Structure 1
Amino acid sequence: MNVYAVGVDVLTGFLDGPRARDAFLLRASLRPPWCVDIRDRAPLSLVAVVSDEAWLLPETGPPVGLAVGDVALVRGPAPYRCADDPATPVQAIIHPGQRCTSVDGRELLGPVTGEAGEWGFGGVRTWGNTSGPTSLLVGTYPVDGQLGRALLDALPPILKMSATDWDSPLLALLHTEIGREAPGQQAMLDRLLDLVLIAVLRAWFARPDSDAPRWYRAMSDPVVGKALRLIHESPATSWTVASLAAAAGVSRAGFARRFTARVGEPPLTYLTGWRLAVAADLLRGTDATLSAVARQVGYGGPYALSAAFKRRHGVSPGRYRAEVTTGPE
């Protein structure tokens, strides 16, 4: 998988990490009282309320209430609870791999028969404690790349967007499609989940109180935004401060000051970080040789890339790729 493409803007470059591919996605149908302890260690989860209301209870911090049309992004891997009321005791536990059990360890992945309090599947991609008034859409993203991690690091532990804060038909469409079985349905759901995520992030980053990352704010600057796009589109180019300034149509000194003020680091420092993040994701997501990766991210050869990569990530590219495949020793 190539992690950047010609024409990419800054946000798209970061969003290419958390992209749904065979994402875990279901509709939760719940009857109060209910409480689910989510310990799946997913790096990023999306919870949307279709009907009724719900509470998110992080491991630390205050509960977050959700009403109809509200969407929350939960940054993992810390556990959290989702409940009808903060005081409701846990009834089901979601483990890594989306394994579901009761508090005493019974599996909760079978079909429900209609008994009160029974947990299991009650239809296509529908799970809960028998049919109830509360309907949630829940999706998880297995974000594992450096670019995706850079995006996650910019988010609060729970990002809540109220229905009044964003206007989109995507939730209704996702809710309709999640119960269908048709050719290409998984691809359809993956793309819809991506669109919901992008819409929520754009709406949140655009808010003046969102504490959006500096690279996002810099996108609107006509000079710095153009330089960022050039870096993201073509990390293999032998960029210098002078060539980036010329492409942006300003003086070298003025460009360097403006870029550093908007982004928070000098142009070449940002360029190096981007190149090494792309290299890490290429090592993680492709079987490209180290020489090929070096060419794609603007290094003269594998030795130059190896030295820079080890300074940034603390391990050699070969060790990094091996740990991704087998896990750290």
Structure 2
Amino acid sequence: MDLLSHFLTMLKIESTSISSWHLSEPWGVHVRDYRPGFCFIVTEGRFVVEAATGQVLHLAKGDTLLAPRGGECRLLSRLGVATTDLSELNWSEPRSPRLDRSVQPGSAISVVHGGGGELCRLLGLAFSIQSGQGAFVLAGLPDFIVLRDGDASILSQIRPAIEALLADDKPGYYAVAKHMAELIVVGLLRSYILTDQSFSPGWMKGLQDPYICKALLAIHEVPERKWSVALLAAAANLSRSTFAARFCRLIGQSPIDYLNAWRISLAAERLRGGTDSVAHIASAVGYQSDRVFRQAFRERMSMSPRQYRNQQI
């Protein structure tokens, strides 16, 4: 398996909600600290996104906005218009668009909002990604990703299926919607990574380097090995000093820090979905000492392995 496929297969959709938005000028929606990821596909008209950081993004028909970790922003027909909170919109069903792992909706939801002017239609998708490996991948992504019309050819192929789901309330809807969400998110991220070359330091930038890519593949294929900087440099066919400097510049952290972060992500996945002892998991992901593992886990996750496992129940 190539390294990009390896990263993308870590993304497992835990829950999802699909929605249809009919918005008419003037309109504004305030998305307050929405933590599941979300995306909007513009099927008609245009709109503006104003991020909490002040970043402004303009989208038109055929464009897609992806917020892989969610966050706060304003969706606007134009800059300066008044906004309504997402939770206060007139949804087609008396349930929130926020996700709940215990709820499996039997149909899509829709909203009509605005002042009756120029129309903007959006296909909306909210999704949560399983923690552990999925969180590791998401951490390397920007807050907001915009794909322009034509950047993600997969969308043109599956958009009819998405639109069909909007009118589907038959048994089995949620199973189809969940798999569709995974296809959309993975397809969008793949298109973004293959078309954008201006990544910040992180695993995506490492994918572009033929030497660092080899070291990343070694770490991800055999994380339990007793890796050293020298061994990883050999895997990358570089001298130790050249490799260490190159890795830090492209990935944004040292090889050993990256290795430990990946091991903790694997451990979190095992704690979340299994019954193995903490000591067994520590050994399986490459820690020679249970004490060192517990300390590393607490430093990265801000809680002990046992607390993390109990939180997932």
Relative to the length of structure 2, the TM-score reads: 0.76
C-alpha separation in 1, matches of 2:52 and 2:249: 36
C-alpha separation in 2, matches of 1:154 and 1:185: 32
C-alpha separation in 2, matches of 1:295 and 1:8: 26
How is 1:176-187 mapped onto 2 (pairs within 5 angstroms)? Answer: 176-181=164-169, 184-187=172-175
How is 1:83-94 mapped onto 2 (pairs within 5 angstroms)? Answer: 83-91=76-84, 93-94=85-86
C-alpha separation in 1, matches of 2:198 and 2:40: 19
Deviation per CA, 1:184-232, whole angstroms, max 9, x where unpaired? 4433322332233233323333445533443222223333212211211
Q: Alignment partner for residue 271 of structure 1, among 259, 264, 272?
A: 259
Contact 1:23 1:190 in 2 (8 A): yes
Contact 1:204 1:210 in 2 (8 A): no
C-alpha separation in 1, matches of 2:240 and 2:2: 24
The answer for the alignment partner of 1:39 in structure 2 is 32
> Cα offset for 1:297?
0.9
Tell me the secondary structure at the aligned position of residue 47 of structure 1: strand
Q: Which runs of 5+ in 2 are unaligned?
A: 95-105
Q: Say if 2:111 is the partner of 1:145.
A: no
Contact 1:10 1:228 in 2 (8 A): no
The amino acid that maps onto 2:141 is: L
Q: Which runs of 5+ in 1 are unaligned?
A: 1-6, 95-99, 112-122
The amino acid that maps onto 2:43 is: V
Q: Alignment partner for residue 218 of structure 1, among 194, 206, 219?
A: 206
Cα 1:183–1:28 change in 2 (3 A) is same
Identical columns (%): 27
How is 1:201-240 mapped onto 2 (pairs within 5 angstroms)? Answer: 201-207=189-195, 210-240=198-228
Q: Alignment partner for residue 47 of structure 2, among 45, 51, 54?
A: 54
C-alpha separation in 2, matches of 1:181 and 1:108: 16
C-alpha separation in 1, matches of 2:294 and 2:277: 12
Equivalent pairs counted in the alignment come to: 297
> Cα offset for 1:161?
1.5
Contact 1:22 1:187 in 2 (8 A): no
Contact 2:233 2:243 in 1 (8 A): yes
The amino acid that maps onto 1:13 is: F
The amino acid that maps onto 1:47 is: F
Relative to the length of structure 1, the TM-score reads: 0.73
Tell me the secondary structure at the aligned position of residue 79 of structure 2: coil
The answer for the alignment partner of 2:88 in structure 1 is 101
C-alpha separation in 2, matches of 1:24 and 1:182: 15
C-alpha separation in 2, matches of 1:109 and 1:167: 30
Cα 1:74–1:228 change in 2 (3 A) is same
Contact 2:140 2:203 in 1 (8 A): no
Cα 1:165–1:150 change in 2 (3 A) is same
Q: Say if 2:1 is the partner of 1:13.
A: no
**Aligned CA-pair RMSD:** 3.5
Contact 2:151 2:195 in 1 (8 A): no
Q: Say if 2:148 is the partner of 1:167.
A: no
The answer for the alignment partner of 1:64 in structure 2 is 57
